[in-house]
């Protein structure tokens, strides 16, 4: 699946339980069409205590909250001037392909 959003982009969630929340993309999985967004779709995981080996510190056990993946089709990239928008592409004079905002035409 071709994804028009990248790691580090600011996005807004358009559907689901976290609708309206914004955040920065931490990771992108194009194979599954999913993204992990900072502070969005938080879930609790029960982690088992892991003992230290060879002098290294072990992992603490307990309940940990972390981000779960969100479908990429449910988020829109945020343009700095006009808000949530779709992504278009333009070819510059030197042949470089850049992402642009579909509303205002500004570079993303």
Can you tell me the mean pLDDT for 23-41? 95
Residue range 20-49: average pLDDT?
Answer: 94
Neighbour-count burial for 20-49, b at 16+ CB within 10 Å, e otherwise? eebbebeebeeeeebbbbeebbeeeeeeee
Q: What pLDDT is stored for residue 54 in this prediction? A: 64
- pTM metric for this prediction: 0.81
**Residue-level length of the chain:** 108
Q: Is the pLDDT of residue 8 over 90?
A: yes
d(CA 75, CA 28) in angstroms, rounded, equals 12
Nearest to 87 by CA among 25, 39, 16: 25
What are the structural domains of the chain? Answer: 10-50+62-101 (2.30.30.30)
């Amino acid at each position: 699946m071709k994804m028009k959003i990248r790691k580090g982009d600011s996005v807004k969630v358009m559907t689901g339980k976290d609708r309206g929340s914004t955040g920065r993309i931490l990771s992108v999985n194009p194979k599954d069409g999913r993204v992990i967004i900072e502070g969005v779709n938080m879930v609790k995981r029960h982690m088992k205590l892991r003992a230290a080996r060879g002098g290294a510190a072990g992992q603490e056990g307990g309940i940990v909250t972390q981000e779960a993946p969100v479908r990429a089709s449910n988020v829109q990239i945020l343009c700095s001037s006009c808000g949530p928008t779709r992504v278009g592409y333009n070819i510059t004079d030197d042949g470089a392909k850049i992402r642009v905002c579909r509303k205002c035409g500004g570079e993303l």
